């Protein structure tokens, strides 16, 4: 199985800040990586697929990069609605796996 490790586990930031979350795969997964946002009591929402392709309707302040084993999710200017938990997920091979999540909190 491909283990996915996110960092940090939690981060405090202010509206307007730039935030970067990293995700590392134990082995190379090319660009088979997705990012999700989850708010309390809600199902996850797909933000990015193919490591860097923005899902339709997702604001352009979200961006993704990376390939192989190292990936990043960047939010360029935090908005109040962005405070949530973020997960990466590898889709290179079954079984797919998620990172442990990064909780983005208001400072």
Interacting residues toward other proteins by CB under 8 A = 1, 32, 34, 36, 38, 43-46, 49-50, 55, 85, 87, 89-92, 94-101
Helices (H) and strands (E) in the chain, counts: 0, 11
Reported residue count of the chain is: 107
User: Of the two residues 74 and 96, which places its CB atom closer to other proteins in the complex?
Assistant: 96
DSSP 8-state secondary structure symbol assigned to residue 96: P
Q: How far apart are CA 10 and CA 18, in angstroms?
A: 15
* Residue with Cβ nearer other proteins (82 or 97): 97
Instruction: Using the minimum distance from each CB to other proteins, give the nearer residue, 17 or 55.
Output: 55
């Amino acid at each position: 199985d491909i283990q996915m490790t996110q960092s940090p586990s939690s981060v405090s930031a202010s509206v307007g800040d730039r935030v970067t979350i990293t995700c590392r795969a134990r082995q190379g997964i090319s660009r088979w990586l997705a990012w999700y946002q989850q708010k309390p009591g809600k199902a996850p929402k797909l933000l990015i697929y193919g490591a860097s392709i923005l899902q339709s309707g997702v604001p352009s302040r979200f961006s993704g990069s990376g390939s192989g084993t190292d990936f990043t999710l960047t939010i360029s200017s935090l908005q109040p609605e962005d405070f949530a938990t973020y997960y990466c997920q590898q889709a290179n091979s079954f079984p797919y796996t998620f990172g442990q999540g990064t909780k983005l909190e208001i400072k």
